[in-house]
Amino acid sequence: MKKGFVFDLDGVITDTAKYHYIAWKELAAEIGIEIDLKFNEQLKGISRMDSLERILTLGNKNDAYSSEEKDALASKKNTHYVQLLQSLTPDDLLPGVKTFLEEAKHKGIPCAIASASKNAPFILDKLGVMQDFDVIVDPATLSKGKPDPEIFIQAAKGLNIKPSDAVGFEDAQAGIDGIKAAGMYAVGVYSGEELHGADTIVEKLTDLSIDELLAK
């Protein structure tokens, strides 16, 4: 019997990947690197600095900037990204999310957010679902990003359950790998890219029965 749910944010609760893409694309263009939607898939679930490093690697520019300059580039991208997030409302929740969270609450199942995003509290607040989560892992406290299982293990700890008693939800391959490495049951939320290793794959949370999941 499962005892708690651990959710990724971007691509599972709401679709912010499009805003990350707009902001990274503009930043990359400013330094002479072109990124496309396919490349953007690689940035899902990856931290801000790791995303910047991947973009610089694409443009063969890893050594072109000091760490202070890289911080400034990441911060510029984030300022633009946060501007784009201002328009978020509860209507931007992905289909079925609110109902799923309400049903979980009704059944007494605690929920956590395990997102690499330092903007997670701001986004949850704009979406009006902050109070639906018992735990939001602070990515600043982690030593390794996804696909390392650390963030998922910390989420389970926050919920006071064993990772093997949790169900994890992810739209990115790095996240599915992290969930499985933590020993959780993995639900893949399909967003157009193939996901390997998930225990089940759905297009939206309404495709799931909470009771069936809890019985896994």
Of 5, 7, 8, 153, which lies in the binding site for Mg ion, with binding defined by CB under 5 A? 8
Nearest of 17, 56, 51 to residue 37 by alpha carbon: 17
- Annotated ligand binding at 18? The verdict is no
Judge whether 145 is annotated as a binding position. no
CB of 91 to ligand G6P, least distance (A): 20
The question of whether 8 is a catalytic residue gets the answer yes
Output the CA–CA distances (angstroms, integers) from residue 154 to 101, 109, 112, in the order listed: 20, 17, 10
Q: Residue 91 catalytic?
A: no
The single-letter code of the amino acid at 118 is K
State which of positions 148-187 bind Mg ion (CB under 5 A).
171-172
SS3 state of residue 5: strand
The three-class DSSP label of residue 168 is: strand
Which entry of ligand G6P, Mg ion, none binds 43, CB below 5 to 8 A by partner kind?
ligand G6P
**Cα separation, 139 vs 25, whole angstroms:** 24
CB of 45 to ligand G6P, least distance (A): 5
Considering CB distances under 5 to 8 angstroms, the limit depending on partner class, which of Mg ion, ligand G6P, none binds residue 171?
A: Mg ion
Catalytic one of 8, 50, 71, 134: 8
Q: Are 119 and 139 in contact (CB under 8 A)?
A: no
- Is residue 121 exposed (0-12), middle (13-18) or buried (19+ Cβ within 10 Å)? middle
What does the binding site for ligand G6P look like in residue numbers (CB under 6 A)?
A: 10, 20, 43-48, 51, 78, 115-119
- Shortest approach of ligand G6P to residue 170 CB, angstroms? 10
What residues are annotated to the active site? 8, 10
Chain residues binding Mg ion by CB under 5 A are 8, 10-11, 171-172
